Amino acid sequence: MHKAQFLKNQENIPPHDPNAPAILGIKQIMHTLPHRYPFQMVDKIIHLDAQSVTGIKNVTINEPFFQGHFPGTPIMPGVLQVEALAQTGGILVLNTVPDPENYLTYFLGIDACRFRKMVVPGDTLVLHCKLLTDVKRGFSKMQGRIFVGEQLTCEATMLAQIAKQKNEDRP
């Protein structure tokens, strides 16, 4: 990475104080998102406003995907990093409706996805999404980035839609 790009990335690193209380803990996240084990990819939300969200995912060797990806050299699959970003972005767009528990978020597209560094057990992912466009008719476009410490590990532009659940969609 060129020095100018490194400095640009450092300026945009979302702050993360591991001692700060969560804005949304796991129970509130589970109340908002339908994802459950082994597909729950966000442990807590540490920042949430109308334009951006920052979440945390603690990566441990106990993750079920490490059994096969790869034995002896555990690496978090890139597609699951993107899923963690999508779930974090889902919390952001669901924050635009008064009753988020009655909506589902659908991941519609991804552009310009790049993986910059391998993610391994012991890493703490700082997941940051910001809206690139206002949510209109349930559609939103977001820029997502993942950091481990000061290192950018993944970035992507994502398109999502929120839709009100029908009664037959609810558990």
Give the count of beta carbons closer than 10 Å to the beta carbon of residue 81.
23
Q: Is 69 a catalytic residue?
A: yes
Beta-strand runs (E) in the chain: 44-48, 52-58, 103-115, 124-131, 139-148, 151-164
- For 78, phi then psi, to 5°, come to -60, -35
- The whole-number pLDDT of residue 169 equals 60
Amino acid at position 157, single letter: T
Bridge-based pairing state of the strands 52-58 and 44-48: antiparallel
Cα first-last separation, the chain: 47
pTM of the model: 0.90
Q: Residue 94: name the closest of 148, 46, 28, 152 by CA.
A: 28
Q: How many domains does the chain have?
A: 1
48-91 pLDDT tens trace: 999 999 999 999 999 999 999 999 999 999 999 999 999 999 99
CA distances from 129 to 4, 13, 45 (A): 22, 11, 11
- At 152, which CATH number? 3.10.129.10
| Whether 92 contacts 162, CB under 8 Å | no
- CA–CA separation, 146 and 79 (whole Å): 13
Q: Residue 34: name the closest of 110, 136, 106, 131 by CA.
A: 106
* Complete DSSP assignment for 26-43: HHHHHHH----TTS----
Exactly one of 2, 31, 69, 128 is catalytic; name it: 69
- The whole-number pLDDT of residue 148 equals 97
**Residue span of the structural domain in which 32 resides:** 3-169
110-156 pLDDT tens trace: 999 999 999 999 999 999 999 999 999 999 999 999 999 999 999 99
